């Protein structure tokens, strides 16, 4: 079993809809949780990071962490065609061990 | 602007040839990393370096080599021993080891011809 599971998609939504992405993990040592966005043939870019359980909001993006369930989510409100990309979750523990999901491809159709 | 520069953007390698991918950062980050990305497999760690003149193997180091002679530079050589080198290669850095703020380069697409 992989330490981090992420549905590869593709996830297709109409413009303006809410995009809901998630990752599950098995190692309770993970403490930092990040979401990266990657456009085709580009490097990933950091969208959001959070340390504690709960919600963190930044514009149209909301990151949610539930450590008790080992479940993290990213919500994108009012989705735009420019949000079409692959979204990866990154998790690290206090020792710097990094694990990431395989990425979910999102397609926002006009 | 600070960031990571990878070059070239596209690279073609003949069978049996060694090639070197460049990664330069001006972020003053201590730690640097090389990842390989294949479709549907996500990122896999090749090598990482926490400090100058020191580096460790990642999960898939066979057929690759690196050096870290300068803080700013972490080149990756794909040797002829790497049997399936066609992939997208990403270089990343963090301010220090065991940090969470990864910055990625724009990647190099390597194709064997």
User: pLDDT per residue over B6-62, tens digit each?
Assistant: 999 999 988 889 999 999 999 999 999 999 988 767 789 999 999 999 999 998 999
Model confidence pLDDT, tens digit, residues A86-102: 999 999 887 667 888 88
- Block residue for tokens 């995009």: A19
* Residue B98: per-residue pLDDT: 62
* Residue A26: per-residue pLDDT: 93
Instruction: Report the gap between the CA of A110 and the closest CA in chain B (Å).
Output: 26
Six-digit token pair at A34?
Answer: 């990040």
B43 with A88: Cβ contact below 8 A? yes
Q: CB neighbours (10 Å) of residue B108?
A: 23
Q: How confident is the model at residue B1 (pLDDT cuts 50, 70, 90)?
A: low
* Chain B: residue whose CA lies nearest to A31: B100
* Residue B55: per-residue pLDDT: 94
**Whole-angstrom distance, CA of residue A84 vs CA of residue A79:** 9
Residues of chain A contacting residue B101, judged by C-beta atoms under 8 Å apart:
46, 49
B43 with A95: Cβ contact below 8 A? no
Name the nearest CA neighbour of B105 among B86, B89, B90, B88: B90
* Residue A94: per-residue pLDDT: 73
Tens-digit pLDDT profile for chain A (110 aa)? 678 999 888 999 999 999 999 999 998 888 889 999 999 888 899 899 888 889 999 999 999 999 999 999 999 999 999 999 999 999 988 766 788 888 999 999 99
Residue in A43, A92, A102 closest to B100 by CB = A92
Q: Residue B16, class by beta-carbon neighbours within 10 Å (0-12 exposed, 13-18 middle, 19+ buried)?
A: exposed
Report the residue of A86, A87, A98 to disrupt the B interface, i.e. the one with the largest count of B CBs within 10 Å: A98
């Amino acid at each position: 079993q992989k330490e981090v599971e992420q549905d590869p998609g593709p996830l297709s939504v109409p413009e303006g809809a809410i995009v809901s992405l998630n990752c599950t993990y098995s190692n309770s040592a993970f403490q930092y949780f990040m979401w990266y966005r990657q456009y085709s043939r580009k490097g990933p870019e950091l969208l959001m990071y959070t340390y504690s359980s709960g919600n963190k909001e930044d514009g149209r993006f909301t990151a949610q962490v539930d450590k008790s369930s080992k479940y993290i989510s990213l919500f994108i409100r009012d989705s735009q065609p420019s949000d079409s990309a692959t979204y990866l979750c990154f998790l690290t523990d206090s020792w710097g061990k990094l694990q990431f999901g395989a990425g979910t491809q999102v397609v926002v159709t006009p | 602007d600070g960031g990571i520069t990878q070059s070239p953007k596209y690279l073609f390698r003949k069978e049996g040839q060694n090639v070197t991918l460049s990664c330069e950062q001006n972020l003053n980050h201590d730690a640097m990393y090389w990842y390989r990305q294949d479709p549907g497999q996500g990122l896999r760690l090749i090598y990482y370096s926490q400090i100058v003149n020191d580096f460790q193997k990642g999960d898939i180091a066979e057929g690759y080599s690196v050096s870290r002679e300068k803080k700013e530079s972490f080149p990756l050589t794909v040797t002829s021993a790497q049997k399936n080198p066609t992939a997208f290669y990403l270089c990343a850095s963090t301010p220090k080891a065991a940090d969470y703020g990864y910055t990625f380069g724009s990647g190099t697409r390597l194709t064997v011809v």
